[in-house]
Structure 1
Amino acid sequence: MIKEEISLFHLIKLEQQKNKLGWFVKGAILATIFILVFSCLLPIMERNDGQQGINNTADYLMFIGAFVRGVFIVFAAVLIAKIIIEEFKNRTILVMFSYPINRKKILSAKLILIFCMTFIAMTISNIIVIIGFFGLNQIVHLTSVMNLTPADFLAAIVKLILFNLATAGAALVPLYFGMIKYSTPATIVSSLLIVMVTSSSVGPNFSLASIIYIPLGLALIAFGIVASAIRKIDRIDVN
């Protein structure tokens, strides 16, 4: 049992090194900066337009959480496309399958890597944007309707972590659409549909982004898809 766990860990590390995921880190940094800048400009734009869609700290935290999760759901789809779909499409997966390693463990390592990178990136991005916005708000007074106490911050982080865990799972759903014809466009487009389902607003006072059961339900569907893909991997012909 210990040998299996160590072997899987090494496979994950190998996947990370093989795929050279520096582009993901750079993209996550740029996305976080963009989200922070946009979140700082939003109260200014609302004030200039005479509107105030975000009325309190809870509204802001929900908005920024949905924004971050939406961005990284698409990032996860790109990871799925590059690490899994394109390898099947280009048949470079044959190199890995030629080694005396269980196919199921190879696919499991890829999926665990995608899940972990998505969750970690979302969580770090959320924390940076929240601290950045409220820090700047104390200095330049972007808005007067928001105040974040240490207790509120800790409660928000716990809630965001729960949402991010569910969303990182839900972000694996595009695997199903991508594996049908080994299609990168289908993988990306399906991720956009998931963003719509998890982050849409219905009227001014209701947003699906506040309901954790939606990403949680999608995560359960995703784990079913993953289990099915892992179970069938030995029967997939890539020749």
Structure 2
Amino acid sequence: MIKLIKLELRRNNIRTYVIASIIITIVMLGFLYLFSYAPKLEPTDKDLEVFLGYNNLIPMFGVLNMTAFCVLSAVMYSKFIIEEYSGKRSILLFSYPVSRKKILCSKLTVVSIFTIFSMIISNLIIFLIFGETEKSMQLVSGDFTASIMLQVIKITIVMAFIAASIGIIATGIGFIKKSVAATIVSAVLLASLMCNIVANIASSFTVIYIFGLIMIFVGILFSINLINKVNLMEVE
């Protein structure tokens, strides 16, 4: 499996996705400052009160960053799986003296691990920078303490796994039509749904964790279904 993972990394230009992750981090850092400063622009706007404290700000920002990495994950899956198993390209994959299951699992592993780790690193860098600037700027009510950073870490890990799971679910949907567009659109729609859910339960971390476990379970089911479909594919 490790050799197959190394092969996938050589066959696909992972540097492109690293650059994309860096760009996402820079843009999301800007959004975090925008969210934090928004209540000061319109003090009477009750809708902006959700950004006043860290308990709401952390999950709200976490799900926004998750949406960006969901799209990145969908783009990677489109390249690694949808395009690879479309048309004559699948003939080359099926000619390898390795089981179809192992080849697909290596692709799923590469994209999932990249999505999870890149989002965790991105979010932690963003909040570490934000935490340092908060010592002098005080955009958000309350001090940025170690317990706040611990909340950031917990939410980030959950959101990172949700992002990877949504990417797999979107790939399963796009695989039906062998459509890159369907994969990316599905990821955007699923991430948008997640944003709406978190917006309503932002202060309930327990519910977010439970929902995260459900998404991971669904992602595993879609992975199994995807493996079964590839095993039953006929070479065109």
The TM-score, its normalising length taken from structure 1, stands at 0.87
Measured after TM superposition, the shift of residue 122 of structure 1 is 1.1
Q: Label 1:138 to 1:91 Cα distance change in 2 as closer, same or farther (>3 A).
A: farther
Measured after TM superposition, the shift of residue 165 of structure 1 is 2.4
Q: Label 1:91 to 1:54 Cα distance change in 2 as closer, same or farther (>3 A).
A: same
What's the CA shift string for 1:160-189, capped at 9, x where partnerless?
223422442233101221111100111011
Aligned residue in 2 for 1:44: 37
Answer with 23-32 or 82-91: which moved more.
82-91
Measured after TM superposition, the shift of residue 156 of structure 1 is 2.9
The answer to whether the 8 Å contact 1:123/1:161 transfers is yes
Measured after TM superposition, the shift of residue 45 of structure 1 is 3.1
Aligned residue in 2 for 1:189: 185
CA distance in 1, matches of 2:119, 2:162: 11
Measured after TM superposition, the shift of residue 222 of structure 1 is 1.8
Aligned residue in 2 for 1:173: 169
CA distance in 2, matches of 1:202, 1:97: 42
Measured after TM superposition, the shift of residue 214 of structure 1 is 2.5
Aligned residue in 2 for 1:69: 66
CA distance in 2, matches of 1:177, 1:209: 30
Measured after TM superposition, the shift of residue 208 of structure 1 is 9.5
The answer to whether the 8 Å contact 1:198/1:215 transfers is no
Measured after TM superposition, the shift of residue 207 of structure 1 is 4.1
The TM-score, its normalising length taken from structure 2, stands at 0.88
Which secondary structure state, in structure 1, belongs to the residue aligned with residue 52 of structure 2? coil
Which of residues 111, 114, 118 in structure 2 aligns to 1:117?
Answer: 114
Q: In structure 1, what residue type is equivalent to 2:171?
A: L
Is the aligned partner of 1:199 residue 2:195?
A: yes
The answer to whether the 8 Å contact 2:158/2:212 transfers is no
Matches for 1:3-18 after TM superposition, within 5 Å: 8-18=1-11
Q: Label 1:202 to 1:37 Cα distance change in 2 as closer, same or farther (>3 A).
A: closer
Which secondary structure state, in structure 2, belongs to the residue aligned with residue 100 of structure 1? coil
CA distance in 1, matches of 2:187, 2:158: 20
**What percent of counterpart residues are identical?**
27
CA distance in 2, matches of 1:130, 1:209: 20
Aligned residue in 2 for 1:237: 234
Is the aligned partner of 1:85 residue 2:82?
A: yes
Is the aligned partner of 1:105 residue 2:98?
A: no
Q: In structure 2, what residue type is equivalent to 1:75?
A: L
Aligned residue in 2 for 1:156: 152
CA distance in 1, matches of 2:70, 2:198: 21
What's the CA shift string for 1:203-233, capped at 9, x where partnerless?
7x64499523333222212211211221232
The answer to whether the 8 Å contact 2:101/2:227 transfers is yes
Answer with 36-45 or 76-85: which moved more.
36-45
Q: Label 1:160 to 1:110 Cα distance change in 2 as closer, same or farther (>3 A).
A: same
Q: Label 1:110 to 1:209 Cα distance change in 2 as closer, same or farther (>3 A).
A: farther
Indicate the RMSD between aligned Cα atoms, in angstroms.
2.2
Structure 1, unmatched stretches of 5+, are 1-7
Answer with 83-92 or 19-28: which moved more.
83-92
